[in-house]
Amino acid sequence: MKTHLKTLLLIAISLMATVGLNAQEPFFFTKNGLKITLAEKDGKGKINGYTQSTVVSVEGEPSNCTVVYKMMVMDNKKKPLLNEEMDMKIYIKDGVVTFDPTSLAGKLMEGMTVSGDNLILPADVAVGDVLKDYTITVSIGAMKTTTANSDIKVTGEETLDIGGTAIDCLIVESTVLAKVIGIKQQMKQKIWYGRGIGPVKTETYNKKGKLMSVQEIVEIEGF
């Protein structure tokens, strides 16, 4: 149950941290029929679960559109953990991704609420740029998780191979201060963002530099 709760929290946080790039193809789903499977691993590479997202409609052009997709959360054997797929909706305006946190209400978990800021990459982003800090809060009943991202920098570019599909990515690194029920934990995060997809791979390290978890796309169709 602890692993499943962690997966749900990561989904909520990643939705609030989706990225838009003005005047260019945004770093989120923009192609109808796209299907991706994301694996959640611990620091040793053990798979704890999966999330699968399938785009069912894209209305408008990539830089100005409404994207509707279905999401399923699964265990490490790909057994669904929800009774049915969640219907999700994202709005992209002038290349910037926006997400309404209230749309998550009752979908990931009864009583879950999500609030905070979105991470935005400017149109002229380049390696070496420093981005604006942002904070995300996820509440489930009496439990509140707040993640504050700071020292956000674009550190490089890299092409990742996902099952034979080459995805050009922008690498963003940051310091994350998480506060869960009053307990603080500092981490480092490194995320590879792909155009038309969003986060392709996410690595999280503790303050001593030890790899704690990895989220990465392991299957992709229709890209």
Supply the pTM of this predicted model. Answer: 0.85
Q: What is the predicted pLDDT for the residue at 13?
A: 61
Q: Are 159 and 168 in contact (CB under 8 A)?
A: yes
Q: What is the predicted pLDDT for the residue at 2?
A: 47
Angle at 52 between CA 121 and CA 82, to 5 degrees: 120
Number of domains in the chain: 1
Domain at 153, CATH number: 2.40.360.20
DSSP per-residue string spanning 138-193 = EEETTEEEEEEEEEEEEEEEEEEEETTEEEEEEEEEEEEEEEETTEEEEEEEEEEE
Q: What is the predicted pLDDT for the residue at 1?
A: 44
Map tokens 């910037």 to a residue.
96
Q: Which helix (H) or strand (E) holds 70?
A: strand 64-75
Q: Please state, in angstroms and as integers, the Cα–Cα distance from residue 166 to each residue in 28, 60, 160, 161, 163, following that order.
A: 16, 26, 6, 5, 8
Low-confidence ranges of the chain (pLDDT < 50): 1-3
Q: How far, in Å, CA of 202 to CA of 5, rounded?
A: 18
Q: What is the predicted pLDDT for the residue at 223?
A: 85
Q: What is the predicted pLDDT for the residue at 43?
A: 94
- Host domain of residue 33: 2-221
